[in-house]
Amino acid sequence: MAGKRDKPEEIVLKLRQVEVLQGQGSSIAEAVRQIGVTQQTYYRWRKEYGGMSRDQLKRLKQLETENTRLRRAVSDLTLDKMILTEAARGNF
């Protein structure tokens, strides 16, 4: 059964909710149960998004998008170079 995927903005909000609940005296297990995720998911989220603000999250998404675009451009250029090298050798 596939679960719903939370958006990064929602994840940051849920992590803050857990922090608030812990500040009010709840254990991690109780706080995580109240936001509706497993402890494993909570720790994975905390590792990836812990301590981020919304501005930092937006910047992270922009950088990931730019990184994907640049990787695609480099792979296209590498492929073009390989094709030209083969054609220059006459091995086609």
Dist CA 48 CA 73 (whole Å): 27
In this structure, what token pair is assigned to residue 74? 């480099």
pLDDT band at 75 (very low <50, low <70, confident <90, very high): very high
- Amino acid letter, 82: M
Q: Say yes or no to pLDDT of 12 above 80.
A: yes
Helix axis angle, 8-23 to 28-35, nearest 10°: 140
User: Is the overall model pTM greater than 0.85, yes or no?
Assistant: no
pLDDT tens digits for range 32-74: 999 999 999 999 999 988 888 888 888 988 999 999 999 999 9
